[in-house]
Chains A and B, each alone.
Chain A
Amino acid sequence: MVGEDKPFPTRAALAIGSLVTLVVLLAALPWLLSDYGLSFMVSVMSYLVLTVAWALFSGPTRLVSLATSAFFGVGMYTVAMLIKLMPLYATFAVALGVGALLAGVVGVLTLRIAGMFFVIFGFGLSEMIRQLMVWWEINKTHTMGRYVFVPFDATLIYEHLLGLAVIVFFVGWQLRRARLGLALMVIGEDETVARQVGVNVPFAKVAIFVVSAMFMTMTGALMAPRYGFINPNFAFNPLVSFQVVIMAFLGGLQRLWGPALGVIPLIILSELLQTEFPFWFSVLLGIVFMVIVYFLPRGVTGLIEDGWKALGRPLELQRGLTGPLVDAWGWMSRPIILPRGIAGAIEDVWVKIAPQTKGRR
């Protein structure tokens, strides 16, 4: 199109218009949904923020972080511990500070050493804080947990999480047109080149790790009033970390909005597994995780592409169940290939519908 005048609703105006409409619609949901529907949406919204925040760090740096539950837990448990001492919003602020500080320290300590160590540390961090809090509560404060009774109902939690989601998307979107965002992309590709263009690589990694962790912490803090009674085992649930990784990979990591697409399918699957097979839930989730890691390194699009070819090939199962286990672990400690996921599948369809639109990369 080489029209002299731009058509009145320009593409940008159209995009902003539809986004605003979407947010308004989402904001109206609590008044349209049943209690169950709202509780489902609270779940969706919290995982949405966690997953997009996870991708903010892991997408460009290509390091798998399992520290999500540590920051989520710190947010939740800080609010639980302080709620009797100060107003709710003040507890949020303190939680955010604690999360940022923890991320800064952890980042400085671990991000220089990539690979396996970083993965183990992220997982270990959450477990360590959980054990530490259990010990503290039993030996020092003699409580088994904390009561959080505040007038902050599901609707308010949902609206706050929606606001947080808008912010995390905005930050991610801005990052793609900012100095730090470009630096992170170079780092993800080749750290030597990043240094050679003048990027302070450790600093850039810690910076984005802190930003990402602050969103996770805030999500945990906002979720605290959702549950009347919170103990460390509940707040620092390692499954949260794994679920977030699965969601991001399922949705695809090459677009900002990709990870979001993995959230709803996995929440539905999780609810199903949890109600049908409560005892086996974590095992089944682990299997889902390994299936995705082992069979879907490129997300759902890759599955569709490969599935067709694979039909003609015999399955390779000689190495038994340990094979996927070993591979999954090894894979996590390598820089990841950004999966295209559901986002990729949608893009492919879009290109077929509108062949004139060119994908940027």
Chain B
Amino acid sequence: MAALLEAEGLSKAFGGLVAVNGVSLSVSPGEVLGLIGPNGSGKTTLLNLIAGTTRPDAGAIRMDGEDVTRLPNHLRVRRRINRTFQLVRMPANLSAIETVMAGVLYGAGERVPFKEAGYVAAGLLGELNLLLKADRRLDQLTYIEQKRVELARALATRPSVLLLDEWLSGLGASELDGGMSVVWSLAARGIAVVLVEHVMTAVRALCGRVMVMNAGAKIAEGPPEEVLRNAEVIRAYLGDEDA
């Protein structure tokens, strides 16, 4: 299938530190692209560049054939690119459903009337088993529930590309199964998913293709079993722990 999102030669430096160095990436509808690499290798920064949270120094991003490199964050949301944050971000004084409603009201596609937005938001929370927590605020939700609210917030804007930044990390063994089936169902409904993840069982099970980053650069790409055997990858990861 033709790629939906294509990024070419993306670079970003913070002062002297090159966080992302000429990285290209593409995802197709229904595909789960794994993005792995040691801490500090630039995965989150790459997602920030694609989502529009951060401006790239170089490179181009095309969504559905349209150049979106210059578009601000909120317009990329309306071009159906959304993301979750590695550290959950949810307005502390708004309830879960209000946060999700904001996404329904300002998301891509046809404008949803205010009175209907509540039902749409409730439906999304229901899909993620959060209907009973709809009126809770951030501090009244568990960490896992917060992550699910964040996903509901992202889904509310009707994305066709979804960037998940370690959305599965911190889940226990039983919760991991549930989380993985949620990601799988996103792809099943045709969303192109970029999955930044350290949990290798999830990467193996979900991703058709994996990209590895190290020190801002892409060092490998391919099917998970192949890439994860790759010597350089093992060095990048184990180098952290052994040395």
Number of chain A residues close to chain B: CB under 8 A = 20
Asked if residues A193 and B137 are in contact (CB atoms below 8 Å), the reply is no
Partner of B51, one of A186, A196, A201: A196
Contact indicator per residue, chain A 195-214, by CB within 8 Å of chain B (1) or not (0): 11111110000000000000
CB of B147 within 8 Å of the partner chain: no
Please encode chain B, from 105 to 117, with 1 for each CB lying within 8 Å of some chain A CB and 0 for all others.
1111000001000
Query: Which chain B residues numbered 116 to 158 have a C-beta less than 8 Å away from chain A?
Result: 137, 153-154, 156-157
In the complex, residue of chain B having the shortest beta-carbon distance to the beta carbon of A190:
B91
Whether a CB of chain B sits under 8 angstroms from the CB of A178 is yes
Interface check B93, CB cutoff 8 A? yes
Q: Among residues 60 to 103 in chain B, which have CB atoms less than 8 Å away from a CB atom of chain A?
A: 72-74, 77-78, 82-83, 85, 89-95, 98-99, 101-103
B residues within 8 A CB of A140? Answer: none
Chain B residues near A200 (CB, 8 Å)? 74
Contact mask for chain A residues 178-194; partner B; CB cutoff 8 A; 1 contact, 0 none: 11001101100110111
**In the complex, which residues of chain B have a beta carbon less than 8 angstroms from the beta carbon of A178?**
114
Q: Annotate A9-44 by CB proximity to B: 1 below 8 A, 0 otherwise.
A: 000000000000000000000000000000000000
Taking a contact as CB atoms under 8 Å apart, the answer to whether B157 and A198 are in contact is yes
Q: Is A177 in the interface zone, CB < 8 Å from B?
A: yes
Q: Please tell me if the beta carbons of B91 and A189 are within 8 angstroms of each other in the complex.
A: yes
State the CA gap A183–B103 with chains docked (Å). Answer: 9
A197-B107, A198-B78 in contact; A189/B114 too (CB < 8 A)?
no
Q: In whole angstroms, what is the CA distance A183 to B93 when docked?
A: 13
Interface residue? B53 (CB, 8 A): yes
Given contacts A195-B74, A200-B74, whether A182 and B102 have CB atoms under 8 Å apart is yes
Do A196 and B82 touch (CB < 8 A)? Answer: yes
The smallest beta-carbon distance between A50 and chain B, in angstroms, is 26
Distance between A23 CB and nearest chain B CB, rounded to angstroms: 26
Say what secondary structure dominates the interface of chain A: helix
Shortest CB distance B150–A (Å) = 9
Partner among B51, B95, B103, B114 whose Cβ is within 8 Å of the Cβ of A197: B103
CB contacts between A and B, total, < 8 Å:
78
CB distance from B76 to the nearest CB of A (A): 9
Nearest chain B CB to A88 CB, angstrom units: 38
**Does A352 count as interface, using CB distance less than 8 angstroms?**
no
A residues near B154, Cβ cutoff 8 Å:
196
Known: A185-B98, A189-B94. A196 touches B73 (CB 8 A): yes
Given the known interface contacts A179-B106, A182-B101, A183-B102, the answer about A201 and B91 at a Cβ–Cβ threshold of 8 Å is: no
A192 to B114: give the CA distance in the assembly, Å: 22
Q: Given A197-B156, A361-B93, is A182 in contact with B105 using a C-beta cutoff of 8 Å?
A: yes
Question: Which of B72, B91, B107 makes the CB contact (< 8 A) with A185?
Answer: B91
Residue among B74, B90, B154, B156 with the most chain A CB within 10 A?
Answer: B74
Q: A179-B105, A197-B157 are in contact. Are A186 and B91 (CB under 8 A)?
A: yes
Residue of A nearest to B104 (CB): A197
CB distance from B81 to the nearest CB of A (A): 10
Chain B nearest Cβ from A183, distance in angstroms: 6
Q: Is the CB–CB distance between A199 and B98 below 8 Å?
A: no
Contact A190 B89 (CB under 8 A): yes
**How far apart are the CA atoms of A182 and B104 in the complex, in Å?**
11
Contact present for B93 and A189 (CB under 8 Å)? yes
Measured in the bound complex, the distance between the Cα atoms of B82 and A195 in whole Å is: 10
A42 CA to B86 CA, complexed, in Å: 54
Contact B114–A179 (Cβ < 8 Å): yes
CA distance A178 to B115 in the complex (A): 9
Please report B residues at the A interface, Cβ cutoff 8 Å. 51-53, 72-74, 77-78, 82-83, 85, 89-95, 98-99, 101-103, 105-108, 114, 137, 153-154, 156-157
9 further A-B contacts with Cβ under 8 Å, apart from A183-B102, A197-B156, are A179-B106, A179-B114, A182-B98, A183-B105, A185-B93, A190-B90, A194-B102, A196-B83, A198-B78
